[in-house]
């Protein structure tokens, strides 16, 4: 269904939704955003203690409260209405002008340079839960993920980095990030956080409040292998240590 609409259509929908969200924050004192954030924290702490009965109860209460709070946002209701309207328009167009599927018979369309394969990433985009690299040897693949709640741990001692620049990019909401780096690897770190602390190779910053930090080892620009770490987190700590 979505293929029939241009990117501009969805961009306008997102822009209007963003304007409604700002309007609700500015004129309705946050609306249901504050209850939604509180519910998200309840979900997180319930998930952390999910192995207890009371943790399960808190988790599901938080989930229900979070869903209801999100559905009460004007921006979300607008997006739901917009999706229904787009579905109706798409259904009308398919009845009026049905899509004609024809085989694509183009000779010599691809060459050996055009052949691509699907590679399984080390991490997936996960809203809840912790993620760790394998405790046994694994093949390195650059990491580019975003997540919601939980911890992320990357251990580079169990892999062989390419003779180039390896990249770790993590955008996260709430949780901690741990990265273990072998001694022979040069490192560049660009970390931003709204709330949290940083511990990087002995350098500590205990009160990160809406700040960005940049660290780089002395031989990063001239030596290989090296790893570039880019992390962004709303609330949580980052720890980068040698192993």
Beta strands at 143-146 and 226-235: parallel, antiparallel or unpaired:
unpaired
Residues 236, 4: Cα–Cα separation, whole Å: 41
Which one of 96, 127, 158 terminates a domain? 96
Give the pTM. 0.59
Whether residues 154 and 84 share a domain: the answer is: no
Q: Are residues 126 and 32 in the same domain?
A: no
Specify whether 142 is located in the same domain as 180.
yes
Task: Confirm whether 195 is domain-assigned.
Answer: yes
For residue 173, the enclosing domain spans 119-242
Same structural domain for residues 59 and 144? no
Cis peptide before 21 (omega within 30 of 0): no
pLDDT, one tens digit per residue, over 205-240 is: 877 778 889 999 999 999 999 999 999 988 888 999
Q: Which residues contact 206 (CB under 8 A, 6 or more apart)?
A: 197
In this predicted model, what pLDDT tens digit does every residue of 67-98 receive, in sequence order?
888 888 888 888 888 888 877 877 676 666 65
* Structural element, H or E, at residue 178: strand 177-181
Instruction: Please report which residue ranges of 72-117 form alpha helices under DSSP H.
Output: 74-96
Band the pLDDT of 53: cuts 50, 70, 90: confident
Is position 124 within any domain?
Answer: yes
67 & 163 share domain: no
Count CB-CB contacts under 10 A for residue 217. 16
Indicate whether 140 and 90 sit together in one domain: no
Q: Which is higher by pLDDT, 188 or 194?
A: 188
């Amino acid at each position: 269904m979505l293929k029939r609409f241009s990117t501009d259509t969805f961009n306008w929908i997102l822009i209007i939704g963003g304007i409604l969200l700002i309007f609700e924050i500015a004129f309705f004192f946050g609306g249901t955003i504050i209850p939604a954030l509180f519910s998200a924290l309840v979900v997180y702490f319930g998930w952390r203690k999910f192995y207890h009965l009371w943790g399960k109860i808190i988790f599901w209460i938080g989930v229900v409260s979070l869903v209801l709070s999100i559905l009460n946002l004007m921006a979300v209701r607008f997006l739901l209405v917009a999706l229904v309207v787009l579905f109706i328009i798409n259904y009308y167009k398919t009845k009026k002008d049905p899509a004609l599927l024809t085989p694509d018979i183009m000779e010599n369309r691809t060459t050996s340079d055009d052949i691509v394969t699907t590679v399984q990433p080390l991490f997936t985009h996960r809203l809840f839960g912790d993620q760790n690299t394998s405790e046994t040897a694994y093949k390195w693949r650059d990491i580019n993920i975003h997540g919601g709640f939980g911890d992320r741990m990357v251990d580079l001692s169990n892999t062989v980095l390419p003779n180039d620049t390896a990249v770790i990019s993590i955008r996260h909401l709430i949780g901690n990030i741990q990265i273990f780096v072998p001694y022979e690897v040069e490192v560049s770190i660009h970390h931003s956080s709204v709330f949290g602390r940083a511990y990087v190779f002995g350098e500590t910053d205990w009160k990160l409040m809406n700040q960005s930090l940049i660290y780089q080892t002395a031989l990063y620009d001239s030596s290989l292998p090296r790893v570039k770490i880019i992390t962004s987190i709303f609330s949580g700590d980052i720890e980068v240590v040698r192993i």
